[in-house]
Chain A
């Protein structure tokens, strides 16, 4: 299925990264990254800890702007528009590119208000009850919470909280959803539920997911990017993209030896 992605009509690129390097102050976290994220597909970012997966993800919604000393060189564009151009409003951008974090982080508010928060920010005029219901259904949480929408979001289980966070991200009807290890704090059953959910969401959204779980990457993603860290001459550590291809390729016949070692669990 994923092997013929290439032969079928080339999909539209949503996020294009061209020779991007990312710095935190003097520290270079990522170097020379070039990577195209295809529309309405799931792209997995994998690689050892500290190789800069989260850093790259946070470049896409400009969440790193909040970090002092953060800087990008090279070019990242979103539907052909330079993400870091001065006329881009990062607040506006983040409504188009949503994010789900590693640790479930519902607001200390009711389930309903958690979901309504984003739409209210933009002065959503439609039927809020309906939007809340739709978002919860899309994130496969509706049946579990439909009778307790007024209850605090923090009172849900970890897996439910994470689905609430997904529902909250969906409610603003984004174009892209970034997920940074969304299942790492969850039990296997909740993880499977979210993986199923991802397949549903893919119909409507472009998804980028960071994961340390190789099975997860191979199960859910269409494309996989493998990152690694290398030592620089000065003894620093910098992340770089080793290989990017269809998931099946990466897991069955990678070009690079280090990819082979990493995906088969013989690494380091």
Chain B
């Protein structure tokens, strides 16, 4: 005979198991759906060919969009990572418990909640558009990179600040006790110790940015030719290609949209795995 308390425990365990199983199921469903629909089109052509316009019934790829995505994300990383890590160092080391740092901390949280379309509109306004108070660069990888950098920034700052804070205080005291300045303590001891966790955070941010579509529609646009400049010409990206092709009438384009989704998911999976490896190395 089980007491009501044990029955309740068994029930709760079952419920949590069920929830975990459903979460897994959803992921498996998405993955298999993408693989079933996009898998048949996977070939080398995807990476070497240009996207077909709607009237072309077969063939084509999205080599330019893959390059565009990698380029845009790379720009975003170059902008957001150094900046984000330095900000995190201020928040968790030099500016600890100052009013300014708690304001920045709060605003970072707000920024992470800003919808990506709003960030896109902002980047469009200050970089792309040819009128008003703008850099007037037009649709470009740079503009897209800036938009993605803004989206990545709060994630990088948050995870880097947490990584720094998780370095035990003992270790800081040891360095100070040996006659290190605070600057030396942070850059020679605390930051190196936090690098593996910071890498994980950056990878997460990259995975998030790589799949963003809304801000890119407003900043990189799309194109059917190869990219030959960071600025000026519209830059195709995988996520915008999916957006453009998935709902169009062309069967060929629809298939490519699925294949592009598959490649995107694969990219995200690879980044997640890499970040896992980064944590592993620490232990």
Interface residues of chain A, those whose CB is within 8 Å of chain B, are 61, 63, 66, 91-95, 98-99, 101, 103, 105-109, 117-118, 121-122, 165, 168-169, 172
**Contact with A101, one of B173, B179, B180, B189 (Cβ below 8 angstroms):** B173
28 pairs, CB–CB < 8 Å, chain A vs chain B = A61-B177, A63-B173, A63-B176, A66-B176, A93-B179, A94-B177, A95-B179, A98-B177, A99-B177, A101-B173, A101-B177, A103-B170, A105-B168, A105-B171, A105-B173, A105-B174, A106-B174, A107-B174, A109-B189, A109-B192, A117-B178, A117-B189, A121-B179, A121-B184, A122-B179, A165-B174, A168-B178, A169-B178
Q: Counting CB contacts under 8 A, is B181 at the interface?
A: yes
Query: What CA separation (Å) do A105 and B177 show in the bound complex?
Result: 11
Query: What CA separation (Å) do A93 and B177 show in the bound complex?
Result: 9
* CB <8 Å contact, B193 and A101: no
Complex interface: chain A residues within 8 A of B192 (CB)? 108-109
Q: Counting CB contacts under 8 A, is B175 at the interface?
A: yes
Query: What CA separation (Å) do A66 and B184 show in the bound complex?
Result: 15
For the complex formed, measure the closest distance between the CB of A134 and the CB atoms of chain B, giving whole angstroms. Answer: 17
Query: What CA separation (Å) do A52 and B230 show in the bound complex?
Result: 63
For the complex formed, measure the closest distance between the CB of A138 and the CB atoms of chain B, giving whole angstroms. Answer: 16
Query: What CA separation (Å) do A121 and B176 show in the bound complex?
Result: 11
Complex interface: chain A residues within 8 A of B130 (CB)? none
Complex interface: chain A residues within 8 A of B178 (CB)? 94-95, 98, 117-118, 121, 168-169, 172
**When A and B form their complex, which 5 residue pairs have the shortest distance between CB atoms, in order from nearest?**
A95-B179, A105-B170, A99-B177, A94-B179, A118-B178
* CB <8 Å contact, A108 and B170: no
How many of chain B's residues have a CB under 8 angstroms from any CB in A? 17
Complex interface: chain A residues within 8 A of B173 (CB)? 63, 66, 101, 105
Query: What CA separation (Å) do A169 and B179 show in the bound complex?
Result: 10
**Contact with A91, one of B168, B174, B181, B193 (Cβ below 8 angstroms):** B181
Closest to B188 in A: A117
Most buried by A among B176, B179, B189, B193: B179
Complex interface: chain B residues within 8 A of A95 (CB)? 178-179
Complex interface: chain A residues within 8 A of B170 (CB)? 101, 103, 105
In chain B, positions 132-180 with a C-beta closer than 8 Å to chain A are 168, 170-171, 173-180
Query: What CA separation (Å) do A184 and B128 show in the bound complex?
Result: 64
Closest to A118 in B: B178
Interface residues of chain B, those whose CB is within 8 Å of chain A, are 168, 170-171, 173-181, 184, 188-189, 192-193
For the complex formed, measure the closest distance between the CB of A166 and the CB atoms of chain B, giving whole angstroms. Answer: 12
For the complex formed, measure the closest distance between the CB of B280 and the CB atoms of chain A, giving whole angstroms. Answer: 14
Complex interface: chain B residues within 8 A of A105 (CB)? 168, 170-171, 173-174
Closest to A117 in B: B178
Query: What CA separation (Å) do A85 and B123 show in the bound complex?
Result: 54
Complex interface: chain A residues within 8 A of B188 (CB)? 117
17 more A-B residue pairs beyond the given contacts A94-B179, A165-B174, with a C-beta to C-beta distance below 8 A: A61-B177, A93-B179, A94-B178, A95-B178, A98-B177, A101-B170, A105-B170, A105-B173, A105-B174, A107-B174, A107-B193, A108-B171, A117-B175, A117-B188, A117-B189, A121-B184, A122-B179
Query: What CA separation (Å) do A98 and B189 show in the bound complex?
Result: 18
Query: What CA separation (Å) do A210 and B178 show in the bound complex?
Result: 19
Complex interface: chain A residues within 8 A of B180 (CB)? 91, 117-118, 121
Asked, given contacts A101-B173, A101-B174, whether A107 binds B179 with beta carbons under 8 Å apart, the answer is: no
* CB <8 Å contact, A94 and B171: no
